[in-house]
């Protein structure tokens, strides 16, 4: 017996944190064990997950254990197990308290039944897909979805027992973390047979909601086909298969499988995650059965129930004696056989033609799906239109063709927009390129040449460094201004903005004296429209105002002006008017805002302190506001 197993069994009968009495071990894993427990004061039952002492000593495993509790408790979804408590008792035993589920996990059911009916499988996927969509919206990726982590719980709802699928065990989930705590690449986490290619390659930074979508598709494949799409004894061989090989098409293993299910599973099992559905919600929409298929399933269930009743009745009544003479029976068979032969000879060509149509339509739609994945929109459109023109195809096939046609049209429109984008980038018209890109689907892959990529990055780099140079100039850090200018000129020697930035004056704060507690420049404090002083630094005797405070007030003044809060903008800018390094900017803000306030006194005060160029700036602001000044 292993040390962990012995440790787990010893906990039965113990009381955790003076609250939860352990009654029975339910399951055990590598990191810990799950027990049935009872609250010693309320008598309510619950499930308790306890971390093995060896795992608790591993800081990363202990952190993941805590993450699991916090993740699940934050999601609040009916198809995710409920967490009620996270604690550590006096002995240092870490545990999570969860709702106690009655039923079986999906792995046990599959081992018992082999495979599941289509309706049951789709209902399970619908419920776990809804749970995962909620998790993905919070930035949480499960990363270890498998039948063992899906519990089929029997719950009493209004006196009727229903089955609810619940996702459990978020122990290796991927959650938003700081970069220094993120899961490192090349570390493989999860269960290999249900792991997406990016997980098999250890590319943890590439794992997202589409990786969970792959796992759900593998589970659906297993439930319907009774076998896994990827299954090798060796983990190395299994990963090679997951990364390189295509699985046996599901429609060849499941007779009468609706076409949209086969197409959806195939797309969700695409090797490149970009080719899968963008979200779990879209995958769930793709496997929704058309009404015609639902009607067929209802008829099949009714027929099966009727046949069962008839069989049960026959078993009680016994066999009725044959009343018709044997010779009449033989004669009837003879005439019936001749009639059937004639009808078969007449109808065979027609039946053959009609029977081939659904197969042809399915082949065309699979080819159209492949064309969509390769972004051959026109080919996909033609194939979908050909299916829509065919007569005698099932409603489910027609519905899939309509969806394919719509996707192809959207792709064609995106392709036209991309051509415009390519032209705009080629002409270095980045304003137009930005507007075009905003209208494109977020998941559209853009194929740029290395030269186009370089030119875009060059523009971003130049703009970033010039912006940083001006910020450094505003802060009086003249050496930093030169550093950023040099970086721009090293990449673009003739850049006009950088050359101007190099020779623009820069004044250092060295030796500058802050205005202190006295009123700035002898000006009276600025008042609002009601004549009330706003009591900002510089308006009244008080604590010293530092240069960093002055810069902060100027930034807040600019924001206030932009937001239309005009009196605060004037007051904040007025604080900086007594500091020579900032006075020109401050008076421009005061003057421009006074124009919007239509306050001639403030405008005149600002103009008296501005250079000719800045005066024209203020006059233009007044003219724009419709406030004429001399």
Of 324-328, 469-473, 558-562, least confident by mean pLDDT is 324-328
pLDDT at 562 (0 to 100):
82
Alpha-carbon distance of 89 to 62, in angstroms, equals 15
Please, which pLDDT band fits residue 189 given cuts at 50, 70 and 90? very low
Listed range (224-233, 488-497, 510-519, 593-602) with the worst mean pLDDT: 510-519
The answer, yes or no, to whether residue 22 has pLDDT greater than 90, is yes
Confidence at 177, pLDDT banded by 50, 70, 90: very low
For the chain, the average pLDDT equals: 77
pLDDT for the residue 210: 93
List of residues 6+ apart from 18 with CB closer than 8 A: 40, 89
Average pLDDT of span 585-609: 89
What average pLDDT does the segment 124-147 reach? 88
Q: Is 296 helix (H, G, I), strand (E, B) or coil?
A: helix
156, 265: one domain? yes
pLDDT, average across residues 154-160: 77
Does residue 329 surpass a pLDDT of 60?
Answer: no
Q: Is pLDDT above 70 for 349?
A: no
| Residue 91 shares a structural domain with residue 115 | no
pLDDT band of residue 503 (cuts 50, 70, 90) is: low
Q: Are residues 466 and 553 in the same domain?
A: no
Same domain, 29 and 154: no
Which two structure tokens, joined as six digits, stand for 615?
A: 């005066």
Q: Is the pLDDT of residue 174 over 80?
A: no
Residue that finishes a domain, picked among 74, 98, 122 = 98
Q: What is the pLDDT of residue 595?
A: 92
Tell me the pLDDT band of 504, cut-offs 50, 70 and 90.
low
Give mean pLDDT, residues 203-220. Answer: 90
User: Do 172 and 237 share a domain, yes or no?
Assistant: yes
Residue 347, domain member (yes or no): no
296-330 as b/e: b if 16+ CB within 10 A: beeeeeeeeeeeeeeeeeeeeeeeeeeeeeeeeee
**Mean pLDDT score, 550-571:** 83
Q: How confident is the model at residue 529 (pLDDT cuts 50, 70, 90)?
A: low
Overall size of the chain counted in residues: 630
pLDDT at 559 over 50: yes
Domain boundary among 55, 76, 98: 98
557 and 620 both lie in a single domain: yes
Tell me the pLDDT band of 512, cut-offs 50, 70 and 90.
Answer: very low
CATH number of 43's domain:
3.30.200.20
Is residue 376 in some structural domain? no
Mean pLDDT, rounded, for 364-393: 81
Is 275 in the same domain as 160?
yes
pLDDT at 407: 80
Cβ–Cβ under 8 Å, residues 145 and 219: yes
Higher pLDDT, 23 or 392: 23
610 contacts: CB under 8 Å, gap ≥ 6: 584, 587, 588, 591, 617, 618
Q: Identify the pLDDT of residue 108.
A: 92
Q: Kindly state the average pLDDT of the residues 5-11.
A: 80
Decide if 514 is inside a domain.
no
User: 222-267: per-residue pLDDT in tens?
Assistant: 999 999 999 887 778 888 888 889 999 999 999 889 999 999 999 9
Q: What is the DSSP letter of 520?
A: G
Both 556 and 619 in a single domain?
A: yes
Alpha carbon distances (Å) from 92 to 14, 50, 64, 209, 294:
14, 11, 17, 35, 54
In this prediction, residue 85 has a pLDDT band, given cuts at 50, 70 and 90, of: confident
What pLDDT does 323 receive? Answer: 38
Is residue 301 in a domain?
A: no
- Give the per-residue pLDDT at 396: 66
Residue 509, phi then psi, degrees to nearest 5: -80, -5
Confidence of residue 582 (pLDDT cuts 50, 70, 90): confident
DSSP string over 252-288 = HHSTT--HHHHHHHHHHT-SSGGGS-SSHHHHHHHTP
Average pLDDT value for residue range 449-462: 77
Same domain, 70 and 141: no
> Is residue 215 domain-resident?
yes
What is the structure's pLDDT at 73?
74
Query: Do 239 and 110 share a domain, yes or no?
Result: yes
CA distance 201 to 236: 11
Q: Check whether 270 has a pLDDT greater than 90.
A: yes
148 alpha carbon, distance to own chain's centre: 24
Q: Is residue 346's pLDDT more than 50?
A: no
Confidence of residue 513 (pLDDT cuts 50, 70, 90): very low
SS3 218: helix
| Host H or E run for residue 518 | none
> Distance between CA 225 and CA 467 in Å, rounded?
60
**For 30-53, how does the pLDDT look when each residue is reduced to its tens digit (9 = 90+)?**
678 899 999 998 888 999 988 887
Residue 48 and residue 169 in one domain = no
- What is the mean pLDDT of the segment spanning 433-443? 70
CATH number, domain containing residue 167 = 1.10.510.10
CB 83, CB 72: distance < 8 Å: yes
CA distance 166 to 415: 41
pLDDT at 345: 47
Q: Read off the pLDDT band of 445 (50, 70, 90).
A: low
Quick one: average pLDDT of 207-214?
91
Residue 130 belongs to what domain range?
A: 103-176+187-289
Does the CA dihedral 317-321-323-328 come out positive or negative?
Answer: positive
Domain total of the chain: 4
Q: What is the pLDDT of residue 260?
A: 92
**Percent residues over pLDDT 90 in the chain:** 18
| Residue 515 within any structural domain of the chain | no
pLDDT at 473: 73
Cα distance between residue 271 and residue 468, in whole Å:
42
pLDDT in tens, 410-422: 778 777 877 787 7
In a domain, 417, yes or no: no
Residues identified as active-site: 144
Tell me the HSE value of 225 on the side-chain side, using a 13 A CA sphere: 20
pLDDT, mean of residues 125-132: 91
Last residue of a domain, one of 71, 98, 125: 98
The pLDDT, as a whole number, for residue 176 is 44
Kindly report, residue by residue over 197-206, the tens digit of the pLDDT: 888 887 777 8
Q: Do residue 281 and residue 242 come from a single domain?
A: yes
Q: Does 109 fall in a domain? A: yes
Answer whether residue 327 shows pLDDT above 60. no
């Amino acid at each position: 017996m292993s040390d962990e197993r012995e440790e787990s069994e010893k906990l039965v009968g113990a009381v955790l944190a003076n609250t939860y009495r352990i009654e029975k071990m339910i399951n055990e894993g590598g990191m810990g064990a799950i027990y049935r427990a009872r609250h010693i004061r309320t008598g309510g039952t619950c499930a308790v997950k306890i971390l093995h002492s060896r795992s608790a000593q591993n800081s990363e495993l202990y952190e993941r254990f805590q993450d699991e509790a916090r993740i699940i408790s934050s999601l609040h979804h009916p198809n995710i197990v409920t967490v009620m408590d996270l604690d550590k008792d006096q002995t240092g035993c870490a545990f999570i308290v969860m709702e106690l589920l009655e039923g079986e996990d999906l792995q046990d059911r599959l081992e018992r039944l082999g495979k599941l009916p289509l309706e049951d499988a789709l209902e399970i996927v619908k419920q776990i897909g809804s749970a995962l969509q909620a998790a993905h919206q919070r930035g949480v990726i499960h990363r270890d979805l498998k039948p063992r982590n899906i519990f089929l719980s029997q719950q009493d709802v209004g006196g009727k027992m229903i089955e609810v699928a619940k996702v459990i065990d978020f122990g290796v989930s991927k959650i938003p973390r700081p970069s220094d705590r993120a899961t490192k690449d090349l570390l493989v986490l999860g269960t290999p047979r249900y792991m997406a290619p990016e997980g098999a390659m250890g590319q943890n930074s590439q794992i997202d909601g589409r990786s969970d979508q792959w796992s759900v598709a593998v589970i659906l494949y297993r439930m319907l086909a009774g076998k896994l799409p990827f299954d090798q004894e060796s983990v190395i061989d299994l990963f090679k298969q997951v990364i390189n090989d295509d699985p046996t098409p599901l429609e060849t293993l499941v007779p009468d499988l609706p076409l949209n299910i086969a197409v959806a599973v195939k797309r969700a099992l695409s090797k490149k995650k970009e080719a899968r559905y963008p979200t779990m919600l879209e995958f769930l929409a793709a496997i929704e059965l058309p009404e015609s298929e639902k009607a067929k399933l209802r008829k099949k269930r009714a027929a099966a129930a009727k046949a069962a009743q008839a069989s049960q009745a026959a078993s009680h009544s016994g066999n009725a004696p044959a009343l018709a003479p044997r010779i009449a029976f033989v004669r009837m068979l003879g005439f019936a056989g001749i009639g059937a032969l004639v009808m078969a000879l007449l109808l065979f060509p027609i039946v053959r033609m009609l029977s081939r149509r659904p197969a042809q339509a399915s082949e065309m739609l699979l080819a159209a799906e492949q064309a969509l994945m390769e972004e051959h929109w026109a080919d996909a459109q033609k194939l979908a239109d050909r299916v829509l023109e065919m007569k005698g195809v099932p409603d489910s096939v027609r519905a899939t063709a309509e969806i394919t046609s719509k996707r192809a049209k959207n792709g064609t429109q995106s392709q036209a927009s991309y051509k415009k984008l390519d032209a705009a980038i080629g002409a270095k018209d980045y304003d137009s390129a930005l507007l075009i890109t905003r209208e494109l689907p977020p998941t559209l892959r853009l194929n740029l040449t290395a030269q186009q990529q370089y030119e875009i990055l060059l523009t971003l780099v130049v703009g970033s460094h010039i912006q940083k140079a001006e910020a450094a100039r505003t802060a009086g850090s003249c050496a930093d201004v030169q550093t950023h200018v040099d970086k721009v000129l090293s990449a673009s020697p003739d850049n006009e903005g950088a050359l101007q930035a190099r020779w623009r004056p820069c004044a250092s704060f060295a030796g500058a004296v802050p205005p202190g507690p006295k009123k700035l420049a002898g000006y009276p404090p600025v008042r609002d429209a009601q004549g009330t002083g706003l009591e900002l630094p510089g308006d009244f005797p008080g604590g010293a105002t530092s240069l960093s405070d002055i810069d902060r007030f100027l930034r807040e003044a600019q924001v206030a002006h932009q937001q239309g809060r005009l009196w605060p903008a004037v007051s904040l800018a007025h604080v900086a008017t007594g500091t020579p390094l900032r006075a020109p900017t401050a008076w421009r803000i005061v003057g421009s805002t006074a124009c919007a306030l239509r306050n001639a006194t403030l405008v005149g005060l600002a103009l008296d302190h501005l250079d000719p160029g800045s005066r024209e700036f203020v006059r233009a602001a007044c003219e724009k506001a419709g406030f004429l000044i001399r």
